[in-house]
Copies of this chain bind each other. A is one copy, B any other.
Amino acid sequence: MNAPVMAQVRRTIPEGFLDVLAQYFGDRCSMAEAVRDHHGRDESPYPPMLPDAVVFAQTVEDVVWVARHCHQHGVALIPYGVGSSLEGHLLAIQGGVSLDLSGMNRVLKVHPEDLTATVQAGVTRKQLNEALRDTGLFFPIDPGADASLGGMSATRASGTNAVRYGTMRENVMSLKVVTADGRVIETANRARKSSAGYDLTRLFVGSEGTLGIIVEVTVRLYPLPEAVSAAICNFPDLDAAVRSVIEIIQMGVPVARVEFMDASAVRATNRYSHLSLKETPLLLFEFHGSPASVREQAGQVQDITHEHGGMDFEWAEQPEDRSRLWAARHDAYFAGLQLRPGCRSSTTDVCVPISRLAECVVQTVQEMDQASFPYTIVGHVGDGNFHVLMLLDPDKPDEWAESEQLNHRLVERAIAMEGTCTGEHGVGLHKQGFMLTEHGQDALDLMAAVKTAMDPKNILNPGKVLPGAFAH
């Protein structure tokens, strides 16, 4: 069972192109099948589509060299971080060069007074937080995977902390980018705000490697909260949980995290992570602040959940309990997979205004309950963002088709509710089919015009983000 890849013609690599590449980069250029295979896949359900070569960049100059060379010869160029994207972003559907930036992994500068850090694109979020250990600061964006900052910028990633700290959109201050033709630009300076011209930073954030190659990222940091506590609250049903969250947010309680898990996800997590959570729909909370403020937030949240039928309110105040709980939440994906040993998964990612969230999830559950395969639901409920993890038998092609239909109806439902086809995973290949419904012809034309202006030869991660009809 595999997702179908839309037919795209692999470009012909001009004769001698790869030889020049190999000669220039030596053992930092590989055409070995295993290396190309590794770089021709991501965490999506698609089969691998191999690039013709992989180059391991170590400097901005390396990237410039590759971009110029690919630009000159019209060869596709796909920036590669750690390969954790979920929707087929990295697949070399037109062949070409995969440019692996994981070796560009130095933390360049930390400015504790300004709450900023500048890192090379290959630095991962965990690595950055490790480097910040003695500063009293942290970088909160946490998409689960230990993704690279370059990749997180390129997909406009977020995760469990976004309700309090925002997404990469809000937390990238500036980027160093190599353009399609090999020029190096800085999109902004380190001022916290600026009105000086077009917002190139946010144009590159979320562009999935199609507008430029991100080589450095300057991000905002935050003071480590003086106190942190976490709590779990069980609910009789989803609606009660969502109503609670709406009221919590309307009250202005600055929760740091509020995550929803359905009963199946809880069951899976109990088994996988050896926990004994009550197997009902539940909310997982985290509170950051001064000790008094954390107590106050928790008290307010407890009152609100209680009014909405929240059944318990269990604390995890010890760091080790909290770590265990959040590790379990992060492992919900792997836990889900264990519900059906040997399965492959397809994960959805829609986001709707929170007022429509309960309705959207309830309708989805009604449909999913008819499915021929098991599923779990988890959600960044404070943002209106949720994922359905569909557990598919790799030997039953019908299940893939069925899951695609369910995904299709879910996305259409989310868009009809003023939502989006992807809250945080990105478009890649898998969500291209929804771009027209979500944005309309004229907005896509405008995006295509921007793409053409910035990458006139369409060498940068070609065939991604914009559906085929809009690719120039």
Residues of A within 8 A of B (CB): 111-116, 136-137, 155-158, 162, 166-167, 169-170, 179, 183-200, 202-203, 205-207, 211, 222-223, 225-226, 246, 249-252, 254, 289-290, 292-293, 296, 300, 351-355, 383-385, 414-415, 418-427, 431, 434-435, 438-440, 442-447, 449-454, 465-466
Cβ–Cβ < 8 Å partners of A431 in chain B = 196
Tell me whether A198 and B206 are in contact (CB under 8 A): yes
Tell me whether A191 and B355 are in contact (CB under 8 A): no
Tell me whether A203 and B198 are in contact (CB under 8 A): yes
Tell me whether A195 and B453 are in contact (CB under 8 A): no
Tell me whether B250 and A195 are in contact (CB under 8 A): no
A and B contact pairs by CB, cutoff 8 A, 20 listed: A111-B353, A113-B250, A166-B170, A185-B443, A185-B446, A189-B438, A191-B418, A191-B423, A192-B385, A195-B422, A195-B424, A195-B426, A196-B435, A197-B206, A200-B446, A290-B300, A292-B293, A293-B293, A293-B296, A450-B453
Q: Knowing A187-B443, A191-B423, A225-B252 touch, does A196 contact B113 (C-beta < 8 A)?
A: no
Tell me whether B251 and A189 are in contact (CB under 8 A): no
Cβ–Cβ < 8 Å partners of A419 in chain B = 189-191
Q: How far, in whole Å, are A156 and B183 apart by their CA atoms in the complex? A: 27
Residue of A199, A292, A427 with highest tally of chain B CB at under 10 A: A199
Tell me whether A195 and B186 are in contact (CB under 8 A): no
Cβ–Cβ < 8 Å partners of A385 in chain B = 191-193
Tell me whether A191 and B352 are in contact (CB under 8 A): yes
Shortest distance in angstroms between A159's beta carbon and chain B's nearest beta carbon?
10
Q: How far, in whole Å, are A196 and B167 apart by their CA atoms in the complex? A: 14
Q: Knowing A112-B250, A440-B185, A453-B453 touch, does A195 contact B206 (C-beta < 8 A)?
A: yes
Q: Which of these, B453, B454, B466, contacts A197 with CB under 8 Å? A: B466
Cβ–Cβ < 8 Å partners of A137 in chain B = 250
Tell me whether B249 and A450 are in contact (CB under 8 A): no
Q: Knowing A185-B440, A454-B449 touch, does A114 contact B196 (C-beta < 8 A)?
A: no
Question: How many copies of the chain does the oligomer comprise?
Answer: 2
Seed contacts A156-B194, A191-B384, A452-B453; 8 additional CB < 8 Å A-B pairs: A116-B353, A137-B250, A169-B193, A192-B353, A192-B384, A195-B424, A196-B431, A222-B252
Question: Which single residue of chain B is at the shortest CB-CB distance from A349?
Answer: B195
Question: Which single residue of chain B is at the shortest CB-CB distance from A198?
Answer: B447
Cβ–Cβ < 8 Å partners of A222 in chain B = 252
Tell me whether B442 and A353 are in contact (CB under 8 A): no
Residue of A196, A203, A289, A449 with highest tally of chain B CB at under 10 A: A196
Cβ–Cβ < 8 Å partners of A354 in chain B = 113-114, 192
Q: Which of these, B192, B418, B423, contacts A383 with CB under 8 Å? A: B192
Q: How far, in whole Å, are A436 and B423 apart by their CA atoms in the complex? A: 36
Cβ–Cβ < 8 Å partners of A211 in chain B = 198
Q: How far, in whole Å, are A292 and B194 apart by their CA atoms in the complex? A: 34
Residue of A190, A289, A447 with highest tally of chain B CB at under 10 A: A190
Question: Which single residue of chain B is at the shortest CB-CB distance from A199?
Answer: B202
Tell me whether B115 and A196 are in contact (CB under 8 A): no
Q: How far, in whole Å, are A250 and B225 apart by their CA atoms in the complex? A: 10
Q: Which of these, B289, B435, B438, B453, contacts A449 with CB under 8 Å? A: B453
Q: How far, in whole Å, are A225 and B187 apart by their CA atoms in the complex? A: 35
Tell me whether B442 and A197 are in contact (CB under 8 A): no
Q: How far, in whole Å, are A116 and B353 apart by their CA atoms in the complex? A: 9
Cβ–Cβ < 8 Å partners of A454 in chain B = 446, 449-450
Shortest distance in angstroms between A351's beta carbon and chain B's nearest beta carbon?
4
Shortest distance in angstroms between A110's beta carbon and chain B's nearest beta carbon?
12
Cβ–Cβ < 8 Å partners of A424 in chain B = 193, 195
Q: Knowing A187-B443, A192-B383 touch, does A113 contact B198 (C-beta < 8 A)?
A: no
Cβ–Cβ < 8 Å partners of A438 in chain B = 189, 196-197
Q: How far, in whole Å, are A23 and B443 apart by their CA atoms in the complex? A: 31
Question: Which single residue of chain B is at the shortest CB-CB distance from A173?
Answer: B353
Tell me whether A189 and B136 are in contact (CB under 8 A): no
Q: How far, in whole Å, are A419 and B186 apart by their CA atoms in the complex? A: 13
Q: How far, in whole Å, are A452 and B198 apart by their CA atoms in the complex? A: 13
Q: Which of these, B188, B251, B292, B443, contacts A292 with CB under 8 Å? A: B292
Tell me whether B251 and A194 are in contact (CB under 8 A): no
Question: Which single residue of chain B is at the shortest CB-CB distance from A223?
Answer: B252
Cβ–Cβ < 8 Å partners of A198 in chain B = 203, 206-207, 211, 447, 450-451, 465
Q: Which of these, B183, B355, B446, contacts A111 with CB under 8 Å? A: B355
